[in-house]
Amino acid sequence: MPALPAPTPFRIVLCCSLLLSLAGCTAEDPPSVAESPAPVAQRSLTLTQGTNLAITASPTNGDLIVALQGSLLLLPANTEQAQPLLLHDDAWEPAYSPDGSHVVYQGYRNGTWDLWQLALAGGSTPQQLTSDAFDDREPQYSPDGSRVVFSSDRAGNYDLWELVLATGEVRALTTAPEEEFAPTWSSDGTHVAYVRAVSATSQVTALNVADLSTELLFTSAAPVSGLQWIPTNQGLSFRTLDRDAAGNAHTTLRLWQVGVTETRVLSEPDADVFGFRASWLDASTAVYTADGEIRIWREGQGSTARPFSVTLSYPAREYEKKSRDFDNTTPRQALGISLPALSPDGQQIAFGALGDLWLWTPGTQELKQLTDDAAADQMPAWSGDGKSLVYVSDVGGRYQVWRRELMQNTAEPLTLQAKELSYPRLSPDGSKLAYFTDVPANPLLHVTGQLTVTDLQTGATRKLLEPMPPQPLNWSADGNHVLTTRLQAFSRRYREGLFVLVCVDVNTNTAVNLVPTPHRSITHASLASDSAQVAYSQDGVLNVWQLDAQLHGVGEPRVLVDDLADSPSFSASGEYVVFQAGDRLQRLQLASGTIEDITPPLTWQPQSQSETWVLRAGRVFDGTSDQYLTNTDILIRNNRIAAVGKFDIPADAVIVDYSDKVVVPGLFESHAHIGDHNLSEEQGRLWLSYGITSVRDPGSNPYLANERKEAWTSGRRVGPRTFMTGHNIDGNRVFYAVVEGISSDRHLELSLERSRRLQVDFFKTYVRLPDRQQQRVVEFAHAMGVPVTSHELMPAAFLGVDNIEHFTGTSRRGYATKISELGRSYQDVVSVLTETGMGIVPTMVVPGVVLTFSEQDDLYSTPQFNNFYGADAKKNYQGFMGFFGPGSEGFVNAYGNLLSTLVERGALVGTGTDSPFTPFGTGLHAEFRLYQREGLQPWQILKAATIDSARIAGAERDLGSIEVGKLADFVVVDGDPLADISALDQVVMTVVNGKRYLLGELMATE
């Protein structure tokens, strides 16, 4: 595959601080997120290419404005040296004004996409043209410069809008239900052409601005973007994303001319044309971007590259890493108190912790353990009379809803023909059960579940609503309605939206969304038993809203607790609400406003090891070189490695002889969403059976994540080490239920404080968090001594973000900063990742999943897969993988090019999968095979899966290699992984914290 182009030697050094580039923080911003003093710029980074680069050409002098990774640069005519206009401000899709004096662009400075204007006279400050809760994109000036046309989701889908610059007046130009976007003015200003997405086609349409009539110009079977009138109104240039017969994608810059049936291709063969407007200097000369470059097309001559270069200064940020105490076995408070449920009388709280159910009576200080086994018992909910609990358990190896009679202390399963159950809730009279279950052929329960109601007397079952992220459920007092939360998207063009209350009639399956406060997400609602009020978390605090008999809101909601409050639970009378506040459990008496700290006195301690033993290995890959150590002994005392090599064996040491096997450090799964709803007992054994001794979970409910972590670390259940982050910290719009939509600076501080109290191992910011707030997260996390990761490339690397997730990954822009739509990356991406020291977990297996699993079908035939998954799961996963479609080979090859380049240049690369998009455990071994397929040597793959992944987790002092003093986490395999990485499947024994687990023991069921 072709090598990435080398940088050109032209450069200009920009000696300006990062924090000045984040200008725009207003005087109203509170001190809690004020910018710290700018650190001294110690390093520089030269960029000569751009991934998803965009340009606009001056109509007066040939200058170009370049949008590169969120910065705007001025590239004067006849020079290759770019000058900064606006650095690291998340500015994209610029367009020159007709007189060349201004540029308009879409910017994300304040947490939504707004229109901004920048005067090109020196030293000007950007002027915000729109400011609201909606996304405004793709601006372009009218030919007379008085107006700006743009696309926006202001009306529930993307339409075209017009802004009058003199007055600020905004009016809708289109109102069709289809998504309409990519507007461009005709040269005479009478028409706007745009794209209307209809089914699987793009209808390019002309709108008469005077009377708003429309005319269809042509239809494209391929997606169209970057629409632009050419001078004299004789045609339109545009970019298409096409697929060949094998499903592989390719892009072209095309020209449609009035009166001509066929369109012309302007771009070079196999060009990676970016999805933005071309700029026409005249009717025969266009400037566009492709292959990481600025290209100039001339009629009859084809296209040539227009070189550019810019050098950026960035701070070398250092912070003191948290010292992780893996040896202290003293008792400590349980932080994993999950889903507390207040009894109808308000006096008792049922909750999950350490894998079991507990009943806590604060008045008498009695803490009773209701279940006591290795199974995962979770999600308790009270019956209406307060005499029993329903909950989910996998005791016996199968998920079932159980009902426990509290007076008799007996439990029995309810007969439900369903799998992957979560959030069970009895109707007030006990006759019906509402719950979420799996969606056939979709293993992503943490993303999607089916709301279901079963009549417990007749067995009749009804599915309600469309599949949605599972959330806690509530019954109305009359038993006719179920209330929960669901996502309400702003448009079909982009997936993000807000979680709102939804009330569904179980008899008619009709639903009504309830929105107490517009443009704010809701989490974990609790309905009082009389249905007269609903409590919920919003903006990080506890709110309540009065409801009428039809469960419609009455009046304005009010704040009950103006402080951190999660997982509210009402008593039957509505007298009390229990909620969580990080490491505290609290009870509010509504009448008096009194808040009691009722945190249960529950402690746990890490499992201790006191054995001295020797692992005798034929060959050892220790993680520090590319070769084996041969005929090597490893001495383990308690939980750490005491010696490696040849030494006098202590008299009391047990020798475990695997002199015909290979030993490697414990493997890291560095990106797996373990799940908030399927906390099965077998999952821990599954990870270890694949040799995976550490799992980094970049997104989960922090209370549930801590429960799982404490259950595994204590030895209550068998499982790997976990490194958890809790909620992903995002902007106000979200998609996944596990993401927390930050609505204000104060909300961010509450979120950060929760993470501190719950002792997260790292922070993850998500796709719509503004850069100013991301900077605050970095400051807070680094003060705690833990790393930060995100989907972002720049300015994240310049803000001190430690790691990045995915080669691709979702983006707020609609296009990625790391790869193009063909999966290709360019010099900007490589330079940022190799020179700033930022780590990356590629998760190549997500686009490559079909390819890998079709080429390596033996992944389905391992003892581990057959034991934990089986034939039905294979069928489900194969069906689900079809979602990724054909054409994955081109993407994987492009990813492989980037992967090989990064590894060759010394970048920090880990291993992860984004499971459960692929099966837990199996997916990581598929990722290894992709790495090998794309040219990495097995020792490089092992290094990425061990010591480099430990660095990404911030745990390299203790994990990732077989060295004296490190923790005894390693895997014995029956094969030669340095010859073929697939030998890592052949696990014989896994060791975690010095404790041995044979494969047969891990796969055994009770």
Question: What is the pLDDT at residue 677?
Answer: 60
Q: Which of 787, 890, 896, 913 is nearest to 841 (CA)?
A: 913
Q: Which amino acid is at 32?
A: S
pLDDT at residue 14 above 60? Answer: no
Question: What is the pLDDT at residue 15?
Answer: 35
Task: Classify burial at 20, counting beta carbons within 10 Å of its beta carbon; exposed 0-12, middle 13-18, buried 19 or more.
Answer: exposed
pLDDT tens-digit readout, 865-893: 999 998 887 877 777 666 665 667 788 88
Full-model pTM? 0.93
Check residue 125 and report its DSSP letter: P
In whole angstroms, give the CA distance from residue 89 to residue 592.
48
User: Which range (2-16, 250-264, 417-431, 449-463) has the least confidence?
Assistant: 2-16
Confidence of residue 446 (pLDDT cuts 50, 70, 90): low
pLDDT tens-digit readout, 182-238: 999 999 999 999 999 999 899 999 999 999 999 999 999 999 999 999 998 889 999
In whole angstroms, give the CA distance from residue 965 to residue 958.
8
Residues 6+ positions from 325 with CB-CB distance below 8 Å: none
Q: Which of 474, 494, 652, 716 is nearest to 572 (CA)?
A: 474
- 3-state DSSP assignment of residue 139: strand
pLDDT tens-digit readout, 565-587: 999 999 988 899 999 999 999 99
Cis (ω within 30 of 0) for the bond into 340? no
Phi-psi region of 759 (alpha: psi -120 to 50; beta: other; left: phi over 0): left
223 vs 37 pLDDT, higher one = 223
> Do residues 206 and 255 touch, judged by C-beta distance below 8 A?
no
Question: What is the pLDDT at residue 415?
Answer: 83
pLDDT tens-digit readout, 193-209: 999 999 989 999 999 99
pLDDT tens-digit readout, 91-126: 999 999 999 999 999 999 999 999 999 999 877 899
Question: Percent of the chain scored above 70 by pLDDT?
Answer: 93
Give the pairing of strands 987-992 and 970-973. antiparallel
DSSP 417-429: --SS-EEEEE-TT
The 3-class SS string of 763-802 reads EEECCCCCHHHHHHHHHHHHHHCCCEEECCCCCHHHHCCC
Backbone torsions φ then ψ of 60, nearest 5 degrees: -115, -35
> Do residues 326 and 967 touch, judged by C-beta distance below 8 A?
yes
> Do residues 259 and 207 touch, judged by C-beta distance below 8 A?
no
For the segment 8-17, the average pLDDT, to the nearest whole number, is 32
pLDDT at residue 18 above 80? Answer: no
For the segment 780-799, the average pLDDT, to the nearest whole number, is 95
In whole angstroms, give the CA distance from residue 500 to residue 512.
10
Question: What is the pLDDT at residue 442?
Answer: 65
pLDDT at residue 4 above 80? Answer: no
Question: What is the pLDDT at residue 38?
Answer: 45
In whole angstroms, give the CA distance from residue 560 to residue 761.
31
For the segment 793-800, the average pLDDT, to the nearest whole number, is 92
The widest CA-to-CA distance across the chain, in whole angstroms, is 95
pLDDT tens-digit readout, 452-467: 999 999 999 999 999 9
890 Cα distance to chain centroid = 24
In whole angstroms, give the CA distance from residue 215 to residue 549.
50
Question: What is the pLDDT at residue 886?
Answer: 61
pLDDT at residue 817 above 80? Answer: yes
**Type and span of the H or E element at 932:** helix 922-933
Question: What is the pLDDT at residue 870?
Answer: 87
Q: Which amino acid is at 566?
A: D
Task: Classify burial at 9, counting beta carbons within 10 Å of its beta carbon; exposed 0-12, middle 13-18, buried 19 or more.
Answer: exposed
523 vs 42 pLDDT, higher one = 523
In whole angstroms, give the CA distance from residue 107 to residue 335.
40
**Type and span of the H or E element at 611:** none
Q: Which of 665, 656, 610 is nearest to 633 (CA)?
A: 656
In whole angstroms, give the CA distance from residue 236 to residue 255.
6
Give the pairing of strands 788-790 and 763-764. parallel
> Do residues 347 and 335 touch, judged by C-beta distance below 8 A?
no
Question: What is the pLDDT at residue 12?
Answer: 30
User: Which range (412-426, 435-449, 640-654, 863-877) has the least confidence?
Assistant: 435-449
> Do residues 439 and 448 touch, judged by C-beta distance below 8 A?
yes
DSSP 911-930: ----BTSS-TTHHHHHHHHH
Question: What is the pLDDT at residue 105?
Answer: 98
For the segment 394-402, the average pLDDT, to the nearest whole number, is 89
In whole angstroms, give the CA distance from residue 73 to residue 79.
13
pLDDT at residue 536 above 80? Answer: yes
Task: Classify burial at 383, counting beta carbons within 10 Å of its beta carbon; exposed 0-12, middle 13-18, buried 19 or more.
Answer: buried
Question: What is the pLDDT at residue 918?
Answer: 85
232 vs 491 pLDDT, higher one = 491
For the segment 723-727, the average pLDDT, to the nearest whole number, is 94
839 vs 244 pLDDT, higher one = 839
pLDDT at residue 267 above 50? Answer: yes
Question: What is the pLDDT at residue 849?
Answer: 65
pLDDT at residue 2 above 50? Answer: no
User: Which range (181-195, 253-267, 773-787, 939-953) has the least confidence?
Assistant: 253-267
